[in-house]
Chains A and B, each alone.
Chain A
Amino acid sequence: MKELIEYIAKTLASKPEEVKVTEVPGEEGQIILKLEVADEDKGRIIGKQGRVAQAMRVLLRVAAVKKDVRASLEIV
């Protein structure tokens, strides 16, 4: 899951070296993925009307189902 988000974010970012994904435990066994990017890449990662972030969340859900966990994505 982490690799998936990292791959997408690094491909989209103009500064891939500043992309950082950390997994943090959330409530009830949920996994929260915190995605950090350079300030100037934020718009690119979120997308118009949040479309990129939305698509990342949908794909993350598939990866989470395969691992039999619940996961959410936070862009910080």
Chain B
Amino acid sequence: MKVSASATVRSQHTNEEDTIETIEMDVEGEDSGLLIGRRGETLRALQFMVNLLVGRRVPGRVIIDVEGYRERRYASLRTLAIRVAERVAATGRSITLEPMPSNERRVIHMALADHPGVATESEGAGDDRKITVFPKRSNP
């Protein structure tokens, strides 16, 4: 792609059987903005391609990040989740978030898993799948 960037392995994990590996890579360089794309679109395409091209030949998973974008995105999703949850709990009305890919929805579900006042659920199919945060009835 003729971009100026370099990739480094951030971490590598093996499971108990020493087989399935997760390799996390971080890409850095002057073209990193280009590699992230609008709302992470390019990073998503890159990740998809890497899974497709590498995934079959190597057991395990490769997770690509560009300049820590994924981590920053996850952090802002957690903040969003908590803010939305507070509003839902206060008003008693559910809120549906914008469509998100599975990894981002997972972050929201996890962030609110132990929340006393709300529950989460994904609805819709494919690229249109989105999370609804709804109030939990407090009576047991």
Q: What are 17 A-B pairs with beta-carbon distances under 8 A? A: A8-B53, A11-B53, A12-B52, A49-B126, A54-B45, A58-B41, A58-B44, A58-B45, A59-B1, A61-B42, A62-B3, A62-B35, A62-B37, A62-B42, A63-B3, A65-B34, A66-B3
Write the B27-52 contact mask toward A (1 if CB under 8 angstroms, else 0).
Answer: 00001001101000110111011001
Q: Does A15 contact B (CB under 8 A)?
A: no
Q: Is the interface of A mostly helix, strand, loop or mixed?
A: helix
Whether A12 pairs with B48 at a CB distance below 8 angstroms is no
Whether B42 pairs with A12 at a CB distance below 8 angstroms is no
Q: Does A51 contact B (CB under 8 A)?
A: yes
B→A interface (CB under 8 Å) = 1-3, 31, 34-35, 37, 41-42, 44-46, 48-49, 52-53, 126
Minimum CB distance partner of A7 in chain B? B53
Write the A35-67 contact mask toward B (1 if CB under 8 angstroms, else 0).
Answer: 000000000000001011011101101110111
Q: Is the interface of B mostly helix, strand, loop or mixed?
A: helix
Nearest CB of chain A from residue B7's CB, rounded to whole Å: 15
A65→B36 CA distance, assembly (Å): 13
A→B interface (CB under 8 Å) = 4, 8, 11-12, 49, 51-52, 54-56, 58-59, 61-63, 65-67
Name A58's contact: one of B3, B37, B52 (CB within 8 Å).
B37
Whether B41 pairs with A62 at a CB distance below 8 angstroms is no
Q: Which of B31, B44, B45, B53 has the most CB of A within 10 A?
A: B45
Give the chain B neighbours of A58 by CB distance below 8 A.
37, 41-42, 44-45
Give the chain A neighbours of B49 by CB distance below 8 A.
8, 55-56, 59
Nearest CB of chain A from residue B117's CB, rounded to whole Å: 37
Whether B52 pairs with A52 at a CB distance below 8 angstroms is yes
Give the chain B neighbours of A52 by CB distance below 8 A.
48, 52
Minimum CB distance partner of A58 in chain B? B45
